[in-house]
Chain A
Amino acid sequence: MALFWFLIPGIVALLLFHYIPLLGNIIAFQDYQPFIGIMHSPWSGLANFDVIFNGDDQFLKALVNTLELTLIQVVFVFPVPIVLALALNSLVSERVKRWVQNVLYLPHFLSWVVIVALFQQMLGGTGMLNLFLQAQDLDTWNIIGNPDFFKTLITSQVIWKDAGWGTILFLAALSRVDSNLYEASAMDGASRFRQTWHVTLPSLRGLVILLLILRLGDALSVGFEQILLQQTAVGLDSSEVLDTYVFNNGVVGGQWGVAAAVGLVKGVIGILLVLGANKIAHLFGEEGVYRS
């Protein structure tokens, strides 16, 4: 019973900052006006959901961009920390490994504003690359303001910033692999590659699946700050995602109800994805997020 008291602050925080704010989703069904407040704003039924169900142009663009970025990021960003972790794990010298790890973690602690500015300084119209090209009398290369490169640019920024940080969990998992298994496989004449394939990767499988499921939960969140900071350069058509749509409509445009409706639907889809993926994981005999 004493232990129970320790739980209280956590529960209170969870209630105050997670569950009670959820009630604010009511404004998705209102013509919400900040000065009247939630209590007195007129009801509007499902009118705010019109943009979703009737496919408002801007909303559809944001949805398509979001899905594209999600797909790209799951395919290209998600595996990078695994590969990095394997590579790091294969380093023999502890000192070199520590050093490389630290260098890789660092970008994670920079804010997006700094990172976007860094990329701007390197690749922008008067960035290092283009100044160099200009000095050689070569044509300059428009990377930052080019909508065709936008998704590539965003994805490489994500990799640069967070791939190193993402290795932490995998390295922890790798350190727990039974070294007897490696010895035994070496006795059987397995090469490094075979060892990786038959020993290392299978022992990471549970973790990879767990992380993938959790990733699906916020599949529709693809870098709000990062994208908002770079939207002006390429225009909304290629850069608007659901999160920036909610911001541009709700906070900037004052359409609080519509923004809340889109956010609500996004949250519901996230839950369905997590539950669905978890179910599939169970079917394959994996543990997933919780035991079935």
Chain B
Amino acid sequence: MTMQPPLNRRGFLATAAGVGAGLALTGCGDFKPRPAALANANAQLPTYIQYKGVATSMPATQDGVSAGHQHFPADPPKAFPDGPPAKGPDINIMNLIFNPVPPPVEKNVMWQALNKYIGCDINFAITPVNDYPQKFAVTLAGGDLPDAMLMLPPDQNSAATPDMLHALFEDLTPHLSGDNIRDYPFLANIPTDSWRPCVRNGGIYALPMPRPVSGGPLYTRLDLFKKKDLDPNPKTWREFVQLCKDITDPKAHQYALGDPVTTWNLVMQMLGAPNWWREEGGRFTHHFEMEECKQAMDAVNQLKKAGVMHPDAFAVKGKFKEWFGNGQIVMHPDAPVAWNDFYTLYGPVSKGMDIGYMLPPDWDESTRGGQWQGRANYATLIIKKAPKARIKQILRAMNALAAPFGTDGYLLRKYGVQGPDHTLKGPDPIPTPQGTSETYLPTIFATDSPFTLYYPQKPEIVPDQYAFQKEAVKKLIPNPAEALYSATDAKMTKLFFATLDSLRMGIMQGRDSPGEWDGAIKNWRQKAGDKMRAEYEQAWEARSS
């Protein structure tokens, strides 16, 4: 039997080419970017109205210190005394997670209770944090958008362009600017700093995910320092190096430091170097192009040569928390939330664990150290274009997710339902294992109330955390570009970062010579840096005027 193939190779290729050409001709290349000046235009920010429901001896301050609480109010006020605030259709949110994925809603008591409390089903499409930028780009390209999605800041996310926001997402200005925010009192409780990066195209295009501006400390293992009878309070770089040498004990597998990148950040802060960008009289300078950058790389190289860095520091990624937890390293710079996490994760195995904090010491008597200001948001939440009533429903739901510390809404969001998710010790919720996995539900990556220092399992650490923030805010170095948009930064930074980061690692390890840095930076300036600078300077002017 002979059979004529329905489509031979040539036939297929011809068809495919035809289809391709057809696709191409039906509208390819008709996209016109909007004028760059519009991107950074100003908007009227929401009025800040602080929530004053719960008193504390450690209040939040104007300059960015988070409130601290040792105990939860015994009788938490109801966030919504009139019942669920956001009745209506389901809300789909796409966001990310650092922890393991929580159990699905059918098996998640906390999630079910949350839906009931809000008044509609909140569906989370959760992606692991490392895959999120790809997922974000691909979802935009696919066109089937969720109701709301997490957007990483443009310098980490080339897809976060103002044009994209304008085309696909809702301008929330009519709902949120100025006194309009009064309809959403818990969103109004979010500090103004966190709203600035939400402004694009002259409008408020996103909701904040507030984080403390103090940034995180250099965490220290006080128990291990005590064992060696050492005082972890160096005043200068020289004393810091000596401390590192004294605490390192290779035979006991104990080293001073692990992560080379955050160690470099630390040295930069000792040198008082800019937090990414420095702005002086409207002129911008990137910290990569400054002398301090090379000085810091050389300093890390000295630490490596002195043998005080973990031997796998440059070879392994993502083990640093674990090393700190099990005492292989005794100092580790990390985010503010890590403080509680260390105790929760490693406390049970590292007996006697006692965590202290250090602020970047001065470099020497003439060069004063500073603390890089933390981003005011981890990321922002953008909402798909929709009819006004729907937008209002979503905003009411997000307002519920921002219910502040002390309310029943906060308790539910962070500690779940009493019984299955937590048991009460006095007024304080102590999570059960079920509660821990259920509350991994990433509501904090939709929006959140302002960061609050609170750790029910170990309330005695809160005054230390508060003290750290109070000290830190006195010497903050802000990043002037944080709330601004530069198209070149969004597009090129990640691209250049791969090579620059590789070279920086090489220099810190002593593999590459510091001289190579100048060549790389010259190339960066020609192809991206100078353009970024110009764009940021323009944006700075637009926002300041």
Contact = CB atoms under 8 A, between A and B. Distances in A.
A26 B314 contact: no
Contacts of B511: 147, 235
Most buried by A among B138, B253, B509: B509
Given A34-B141, A233-B314, A237-B502, A249 B495 contact: yes
Contacts, number: 122
A23 B19 contact: yes
Contact of B310 (A37, A125, A231): A125
A237 B502 CA distance: 8
A22 B16 contact: yes
A120 interface: yes
B207 interface: no
A283 to B, nearest CB: 24
Given A236-B502, A248-B498, A253-B495, A125 B141 contact: no
B187 to A, nearest CB: 26
Contacts of A33: 31, 159, 161, 164
B168 interface: yes
B23 A35 contact: no
A276 interface: no
A19 B11 CA distance: 13
B26 A254 contact: no
A37 B143 contact: yes
A124 B490 CA distance: 36
B26 A39 contact: yes
B137 A254 contact: yes
Interface string A230-243: 01110111000000
A105 B151 CA distance: 44
A138 interface: no
A58 B314 CA distance: 22
B509 A145 contact: yes
A252 interface: yes
B299 interface: no
A253 B16 CA distance: 30
A232 B511 CA distance: 13
A35 B141 contact: yes
A54 B90 CA distance: 52
Interface residues of B, number: 52
A26 B24 contact: yes
A251 B134 contact: yes
Contacts of B490: 254
Contacts of A125: 310-313, 315
Contacts of B29: 30, 40-43
Contacts of B204: none
Given A41-B31, A120-B312, A233-B314, A254 B491 contact: yes
Contacts of A26: 20, 23-24
B315 A144 contact: yes
B506 interface: yes
Contacts of A30: 28-29
Contacts of A40: 27-31
Contacts of A58: 499
B158 interface: yes
Contact of A35 (B19, B161, B498, B502): B161
Given A30-B28, A42-B31, A235 B506 contact: yes
A38 B311 contact: no
Contacts of B19: 23
Interface string A14-41: 0000010011001000100111111111
Interface in A214-233: 231-233
A140 B251 CA distance: 13
A136 to B, nearest CB: 12
B509 A35 contact: no
Given A124-B316, A145-B509, A140 B311 contact: yes
Contacts of A37: 141, 143
Interface string A197-221: 0000000000000000000000000
Contacts of A41: 28-29, 31
A39 B23 contact: yes
B315 A233 contact: yes
A193 B141 CA distance: 61
B498 A236 contact: yes
B252 to A, nearest CB: 11
Contact of A19 (B12, B28, B315): B12
A235 B502 contact: yes
B253 A126 contact: yes
B159 A35 contact: yes
A235 B505 contact: yes
Contact of A34 (B140, B317, B505): B140
Nearest to B28: A39
B167 interface: yes
A73 interface: no
A65 interface: no
Contacts of B338: none
The 5 closest A-B pairs by CB, nearest first: A125-B311, A254-B158, A253-B495, A233-B315, A236-B502
Interface of B: 3, 12, 16, 19-20, 23-24, 26-31, 133-134, 137-138, 140-141, 143, 158-159, 161, 163-164, 167-168, 250-251, 253, 310-317, 328, 490-491, 494-495, 498-499, 502-503, 505-506, 509, 511-512
Given A30-B29, A145-B314, 20 more contacts: A26-B20, A33-B31, A35-B164, A36-B31, A38-B23, A41-B28, A41-B31, A42-B31, A120-B312, A120-B316, A124-B315, A125-B311, A125-B313, A126-B310, A232-B314, A233-B315, A235-B505, A235-B512, A254-B159, A254-B490
7 contacts: A19-B16, A35-B163, A36-B31, A40-B29, A40-B30, A41-B28, A43-B28
